Amino acid sequence: MSKTVISLKDITVSYDGEQVLKNFNLQIKDGEFVTLLGPSGCGKTTVLRTIGGFVAPETGDVFFSEAKITDIPPHKRELNTIFQKYALFPHLNVFNNVAFGMRIKGKKEREVKEMVTSMLELVNLTGYAHRSVSQLSGGQQQRVAIARALANEPKVLLLDEPLGALDLKLRKDMQVELKKIQQQTGITFIFVTHDQEEALSMSDTVVVMDKGEIQQIGTPTDIYNEPQNAFVADFIGESNILDGVMLEDFKVRFAGHTFDCLDKGFGRNQPVDVVIRPEDIDVISAENSQINGEVTNITFKGVHYEIIVDVAGFKWMIQSTDFQEVGAKIGLSLTPDDIHVMKKSEYSGSFGDYSTFSDEMEEDMILEEEAAESKEAEIEE
Amino acid sequence: MKNKSKILSAPYTVWMVIFILVPVLLVAYFAFTNKSGEFTVENILHVGQYSNVFIRSIWMGAAATIISLIIGYPLAYIISKMKAKTQNVMIMLIMLPMWMNFLLRTYAWMTLLENNGLINRLLGLFGIGPFEMINTSGAVVLGMVYNYLPFMILPLYSIMTKIDNTTLEAARDLGSNSVTTFTRVILPLSMPGVRTGITMVFVPSVSTFIISRMLGGGGNLLIGDLIDLQFLGNAYNPNLGAAISLVLMVLILLCMSVFNQFGDEEEMEGMLL
């Protein structure tokens, strides 16, 4: 089996007295495509910079193939970074940017030339060698940055939101390309992003982070199908998250009814969070269903419709290819496979209701705001 | 659109014609005429006899420029790495002496450097000296460095603050230690500032006359003094003065273009390395 290439042990990092990483532990296997995923400020970039050597942890150690590298400066680490803003050298042309690292290491000019040529080929920039980097588009600059990093033949490549500045179409293309490069070269990629779709489609392993802590580590399918808490369920894809009670193994009660499920190992009558993905819900006629409600909103999304259904005050989201009339009474059908039960966490209750999605709700809120504003105005007068 | 910008730029064009173009043409006119207004190249040929003054001026100007660069470059770099607030304070401190009158500042150096000036008296307390500091070429170079150093620091500082920190991180990431990061990234990226700084110190240093008169005594006559003598001194000869000015202008232009050529090559070399 592949061995661990990077390992972080009990890393703590603070900026201006605020803890960004708390006792952070992570092992990354050789040749893996690992993504650190989380909202801004969750500490994912700090993890990357700690590995790269640009942030010194207060406590804890960084290991590279079993060797401690905590105190080794960035230029002596056998890894390379692709920076968010590419950070190309503006005074050098494409060729010399890519050649930079090799020349620092004192490689022969013939080798350098060969390597640069093959790297530019890898990133589809053959023929651009003598262009100035300022003449390149964002996507091209990004490719130069990739070529520049890979030319050093790093064991590990760190990528800090490298696709963040590109437009959607280009981003999708680059995702495919990066994945291809990773598979061709076999280099370990540690990729930072806040885009959950990017994380799911590219990675072997996804590390979901929030507030400087790991929320869940797993394959993209695990993370999506078996989220460990409400944060993960909400951050990755869309989820209906309901309060429930685990009656016994394979039996959970929520939304006023008891359902069969595939989860076990909870205590009797233990309060839980229940996750139901919008695309797993089938729409049936209201009479035949335990859960039924009124459609309050429907949005066409291209592949499917996004339907918001009010079931006794809780707004569910359903993704369905069938159109439903707003105001129609419909029933929701769930199979045991659709239900995922999670332990309660600090995130319980803060996610999972789609109230803000309904127009009605928005109108209510606007009306309330206006009322409040006019009241304030009156008081001021 | 084009018309509009033409109209808007008209006042500047007029200004430049009156205050730059016309004076330069007048200098050229005087340089090539004699006292009775007839065309002659005698003035220009005459300039040759002052070649030692020219050499001294350029030599001292170059020395002052190099010293300013040696002092100014690290200082500008250090300031650009400070916290934004400290940066403002430091820049203000550098500008502060410039708020004081140029003559006054140079006078102050006279009292410091005199044979029984402050420095010598202070050294005398320890039984050292006195040294002869005033009226030496060293004092003149010191005066130039002191007065024109801010013109070196400011352009360097402004270009250095523009160097993106992630670029430096990228260099380190690619294996550069602090020395190679400096030689391969910081130095080439700050070259435009170096060039501006050198121009802004070299040009006024070469043509100064107050500094050399006050700190250099009689033995350190510079081109500026020479020109001054032709217009206001007892050697009164505006035509020769104009000729010297013209030659000086050409010499400075030559120096700068040679230097810029050299700078460009340096940059090119940096690219190839």
Nearest Cα neighbor of A88 from A41, A141, A130, A150 is A141
Give A-chain residues touching B170 at CB under 8 angstroms.
81, 83, 87-89
Tell me, yes or no, whether B191 lies in a domain.
yes
Q: Are A59 and A224 in contact (CB under 8 A)?
A: no
CATH number where B155 lies: 1.10.3720.10
Tell me, yes or no, whether B45 lies in a domain.
no
Counted domains in chain B: 1
Residue A41, burial from CB neighbour count under 10 angstroms (0-12, 13-18, 19+)? middle
Q: What is the pLDDT of residue B67?
A: 96
Tell me, yes or no, whether B245 lies in a domain.
yes
Q: What is the pLDDT of residue B186?
A: 93
Comparing A170 with B75, the larger pLDDT belongs to B75
Q: Are A293 and A329 in contact (CB under 8 A)?
A: yes
Give A-chain residues touching B166 at CB under 8 angstroms.
83-85, 87
* Helix B238-272, helix B22-31: angle, nearest 10: 120
Q: pLDDT tens digit string along A239-270?
A: 888 888 888 888 888 888 888 888 888 888 88
Q: Please judge whether B164 and A91 are an interchain contact, meaning their C-beta atoms are less than 8 angstroms apart.
A: no
Q: Which residue of B has its CA nearest to A154?
A: B174
pLDDT at A348 over 70: yes
Q: pLDDT tens digit string along A180-197?
A: 889 988 899 999 998 888
Q: What is the pLDDT of residue A369?
A: 57
Map tokens 């009158």 to a residue: B101
Q: Which residue in A91, A115, A116, A148 has the most chain B C-beta atoms within 10 A of its own C-beta, making it the best mutation to test that interface? A: A91
Q: Which residue of A has its CA nearest to B180?
A: A104
Low-confidence ranges of chain B (pLDDT < 50): 265-273
Q: Are A120 and A111 in contact (CB under 8 A)?
A: no
Q: Which residue in A100, A113, A134 has the most chain B C-beta atoms within 10 A of its own C-beta, making it the best mutation to test that interface? A: A100
Tell me, yes or no, whether B16 lies in a domain.
no
Q: Please judge whether A104 and B164 are an interchain contact, meaning their C-beta atoms are less than 8 angstroms apart.
A: no
Q: What is the pLDDT of residue A355?
A: 65
Residue B84 Cα, gap to closest chain A Cα (Å): 17
Instruction: List, in sequence order, every beta strand (DSSP E) within chain A.
Output: 4-15, 18-29, 33-37, 59-64, 67-68, 79-82, 156-160, 188-193, 205-210, 213-218, 240-248, 251-254, 257-260, 270-276, 282-285, 291-300, 305-311, 314-320, 329-333, 339-343
Residue A94, burial from CB neighbour count under 10 angstroms (0-12, 13-18, 19+)? buried
B152: Cβ–Cβ under 8 A, 6 or more apart, which residues?
A: B65, B68, B69, B71, B72, B73, B76, B197, B198, B200, B201
Q: What is the 3-state secondary structure (H, E, C) of A261-296?
A: CCCCCCCCCEEEEEEECHHHCEEEEHHHCCEEEEEE
Mean model confidence pLDDT for chain A? 85
Tell me, yes or no, whether B31 lies in a domain.
no
Q: What is d(CA A113, CA A99) in angstroms, rounded to the nearest whole number?
A: 8
Residue A193 Cα, gap to closest chain B Cα (Å): 18
Q: Which residue of B has its CA nearest to A84?
A: B166
Predicted confidence band of residue A144 (pLDDT cuts 50, 70, 90): very high
Please name every residue paired with A156 in a beta bridge, in sequence order, or none if there are none: A79, A188
Comparing A152 with A264, the larger pLDDT belongs to A152
Give B-chain residues touching A165 at CB under 8 angstroms.
none
Give A-chain residues touching B174 at CB under 8 angstroms.
75, 80, 100-101, 104, 148-149, 152
Inter-CA distances, A25 with A53, A207, A213, A216, A218, Å: 16, 11, 9, 12, 14
Nearest Cα neighbor of A231 from A334, A344, A355 is A344
Residue B266 Cα, gap to closest chain A Cα (Å): 12
Q: What is the pLDDT of residue A207?
A: 93
Q: What is the pLDDT of residue A359?
A: 46
Domains of chain A: 4-225 (3.40.50.300), 238-356 (2.40.50.140)
Q: What is the 3-state secondary structure (H, E, C) of chain B?
A: CHHHHHHHHHHHHHHHHHHHHHHHHHHHHHHCECCCCCECCHHHHHHHHHHHHHHHHHHHHHHHHHHHHHHHHHHHHHHHCCCHHHHHHHHHHHHHHHHCCHHHHHHHHHHHHCCCCHHHHHHHHCCCCCCCCCCCHHHHHHHHHHHHHHHHHHHHHHHHHCCCHHHHHHHHHCCCCHHHHHHHHHHHHHHHHHHHHHHHHHHHHHHCCHHHHHHHCCCCCCHHHHHHHHHCCCCCCHHHHHHHHHHHHHHHHHHHHHHHHHHHHHHHHHHHC
Q: If you average pLDDT over residues A80-86, what whole number do you get?
A: 88
**Domain assignment of residue B243, given as a range:** 51-272
Tell me, yes or no, whether B167 lies in a domain.
yes
Q: What is the pLDDT of residue B1?
A: 55
Q: What is the pLDDT of residue A376?
A: 52
Helix (H, G, I), strand (E, B) or coil at A181: helix
Tell me, yes or no, whether B119 lies in a domain.
yes
- Stretch 23-82 of chain A: residues touching chain B, C-beta under 8 Å: 52, 54, 73-76, 80-81
Q: What is the pLDDT of residue A265?
A: 81
Q: What is d(CA B209, CA A288) in angstroms, rounded to the nearest whole number?
A: 103
Strand A156-160 to strand A79-82: parallel, antiparallel, or no bridges (unpaired)? parallel
Q: What is the pLDDT of residue B272?
A: 39
Q: Please judge whether A88 and B177 are an interchain contact, meaning their C-beta atoms are less than 8 angstroms apart.
A: no
pLDDT at A367 over 70: no
Residue A333 Cα, gap to closest chain B Cα (Å): 53
Q: Are A244 and A349 in contact (CB under 8 A)?
A: no
Q: pLDDT tens digit string along A216-229?
A: 999 999 999 888 88
Residue A148 Cα, gap to closest chain B Cα (Å): 8
Q: What is the pLDDT of residue A113?
A: 92
Which among B164, B184, B271 has CB closest to A93? B271
Q: What is the pLDDT of residue B235?
A: 80
Tell me, yes or no, whether B24 lies in a domain.
no
Name the interface residues of B facing A (CB cutoff 8 Å): 164, 166-167, 169-177, 180, 184-185, 188-189, 267, 270-273
A92 and chain B in contact, CB less than 8 A? yes
